């Protein structure tokens, strides 16, 4: 499986290079201010993640590896008066933590301000090439000054069954929900993996897990989103008959007590004998689910979709043939903000920029937020008040971020303007 993953990453990179050379006229305007370096320039940094605290102010986390090879996990809160992140605090992390973007360490904040961090670990296991994967979680009740001892999210770890590729979100009741991929009891690596969900119960940690489906792709991250009314969307890359790797969704209307049967909706018909290592992103609002994802099917690239309360596909838009890792968030007024990285040629070299899409009732608009000739990738995005957002990403082993005024994103995406009347009818703000 590892060889297959590497093969497809190389294949897709080459495919994007070919497509980029045939899209040299696709220009992107760039917003004004320069990116801000977040990580220590002397360390290798990656795995940047954005969330919000109990007051809906941005909180960022990321990982650094120092010159001695030691792993460090940090978080920082944003000072919204200056649009700058404050001095970071360290989160204790085991040194067998798995550091990769699809299963990165993450932080979440409960409605009462409790901090909860998760991270994957890997331990050698006889008969397994991958070892025994686990998802540890720790909590802090004093703003990150002290943390509890790590515990495993999944009880299946005691059976020698791995857990990985998690998603995390604060739920409508203020608790934290987590989704992840378990392991098929047969332990056959080519088989689909189960998707599971659990939520916290006060200071007790996570309660009993709920099985969502047994048919998920083996190594793509799961995505979890919730709104204040208790609606939850759990989105994942499925594994359908014939090695089809599309996108499915399961929803809950009771803060995660029960979930609907998972439904595949993307219709990409992507047949691939190997895991793409590229999961979806989702947000939930007023009984609707908004999703972004990558596919390597006949029309490869990144997509955006809207689903109604019955998980019926209302809208599917093709965003960029050269896009890869894609994330989205909702502004307070319901505007969708989407971030992804896209390859492009410059002379004899290939580079990657971060593109921001803004989608509302007036259409779809875009801008680039990174300088030229960079290798920017794995962006994340969160709102900062009503008209501001912050985007963060990794570039050449450093983590950067940039505040954005959403009103300045005014360049229409060619050929993708929506029907104002249809959007206002289906998705009123």
More confidently predicted of 383 and 16: 383
What pLDDT does 4 receive? 44
Nearest CA among 270, 248, 246 for reference residue 261:
248
Span 411-416, average pLDDT: 76
Domain, as residue range, for 300: 2-426
In this structure, are residues 158 and 227 in contact, taking their beta carbons and an 8 Å threshold? no
What pLDDT does 298 receive? 87
What pLDDT does 24 receive? 35
Q: What is the CATH number of the domain that holds 276?
A: 2.120.10.10
Least confident of 12-26, 101-115, 270-284: 12-26
Residue 187 has pLDDT above 70, yes or no: no
Distance between CA atoms of 116 and 140, rounded to whole angstroms? Answer: 6
Distance between CA atoms of 28 and 252, rounded to whole angstroms? Answer: 38
Q: Coil, strand or helix: which one is 4? A: helix
Core vs surface per residue 341-351: b (16+ CB within 10 A) or e: bbbbeeeeebb
Residue 401 has pLDDT above 50, yes or no: yes
Q: How many domains does the chain have?
A: 1
φ/ψ of residue 49, rounded to 5: -140, 140
Span 206-217, average pLDDT: 96
Span 399-416, average pLDDT: 89
Exposed/middle/buried for residue 287 (C-beta within 10 Å: 0-12, 13-18, 19+): middle
pLDDT over 90, % of the chain: 80
Instruction: Give the pLDDT band (50/70/90) at residue 27.
Output: low
What pLDDT does 124 receive? 79
Most confident of 11-20, 33-42, 178-187: 33-42
Q: Coil, strand or helix: which one is 50? A: strand
Residue 165 has pLDDT above 50, yes or no: yes
Residue 19 has pLDDT above 60, yes or no: no
pTM listed for this prediction: 0.89
Average pLDDT, the chain: 89
Instruction: Give the pLDDT band (50/70/90) at residue 417.
Output: very low
**pLDDT tens track for 107-119:** 999 999 999 999 9
In this structure, are residues 112 and 174 in contact, taking their beta carbons and an 8 Å threshold? yes
What pLDDT does 131 receive? 79
**pLDDT tens track for 67-79:** 999 999 999 999 9
Residue 268 has pLDDT above 60, yes or no: yes
What pLDDT does 273 receive? 85
What pLDDT does 388 receive? 96
């Amino acid at each position: 499986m590892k060889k297959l993953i590497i093969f497809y990453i190389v294949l897709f990179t080459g495919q994007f290079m070919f497509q980029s050379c045939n899209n040299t006229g696709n220009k992107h305007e760039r917003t004004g201010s320069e990116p801000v370096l977040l990580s220590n320039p002397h360390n290798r940094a990656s795995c940047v993640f954005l969330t919000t605290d109990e007051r809906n102010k941005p909180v960022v986390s990321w990982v650094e590896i120092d010159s001695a090879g030691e792993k460090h996990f940090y978080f920082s809160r944003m000072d919204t008066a200056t649009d700058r992140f404050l001095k970071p605090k360290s989160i204790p992390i085991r040194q067998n933590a798995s550091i990769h973007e699809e299963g990165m360490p993450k932080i979440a904040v409960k409605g009462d301000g409790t901090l909860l961090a998760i991270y994957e670990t890997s331990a050698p296991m006889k008969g397994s090439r991958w070892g025994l994967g686990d998802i540890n979680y720790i909590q802090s009740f004093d703003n990150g000054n002290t943390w509890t001892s790590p515990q495993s999210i999944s009880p299946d770890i005691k059976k020698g069954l791995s857990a990985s590729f998690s998603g995390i979100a604060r739920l409508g009741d203020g608790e934290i929900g987590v989704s992840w991929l378990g392991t098929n009891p047969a332990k056959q690596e080519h088989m689909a993996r189960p998707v599971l969900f659990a939520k916290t119960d006060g200071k007790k940690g996570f309660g009993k897990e709920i099985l969502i489906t047994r048919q998920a792709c083996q190594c793509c991250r799961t995505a979890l989103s919730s709104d204040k009314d208790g609606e939850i969307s759990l989105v994942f890359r499925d594994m359908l008959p014939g090695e089809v790797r599309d996108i499915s969704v399961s929803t809950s209307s009771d803060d995660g007590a029960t979930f609907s049967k998972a439904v595949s909706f993307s219709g990409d018909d992507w047949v691939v004998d190997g895991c793409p290592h590229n999961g979806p992103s989702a947000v939930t609002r007023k009984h609707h689910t908004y999703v972004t994802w990558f596919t390597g099917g006949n029309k490869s690239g990144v997509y955006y979709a809207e689903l109604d309360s019955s998980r019926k596909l209302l809208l599917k838009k093709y965003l960029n043939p050269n896009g890869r890792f894609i994330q989205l968030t909702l502004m307070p007024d319901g505007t969708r903000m989407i971030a992804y990285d896209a390859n492009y040629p410059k002379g004899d070299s290939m580079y990657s920029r971060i593109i921001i899409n803004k989608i509302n009732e007036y259409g779809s608009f875009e801008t680039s937020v990174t300088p030229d000739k960079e290798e920017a990738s794995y962006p994340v995005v969160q709102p900062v008040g009503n008209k501001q957002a912050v985007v963060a990403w990794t570039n050449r082993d450093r983590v950067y971020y940039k505040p954005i005024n959403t009103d300045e994103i005014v360049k229409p995406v060619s050929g993708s303007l929506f029907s104002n009347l249809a959007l206002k009818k289906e998705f009123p703000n």
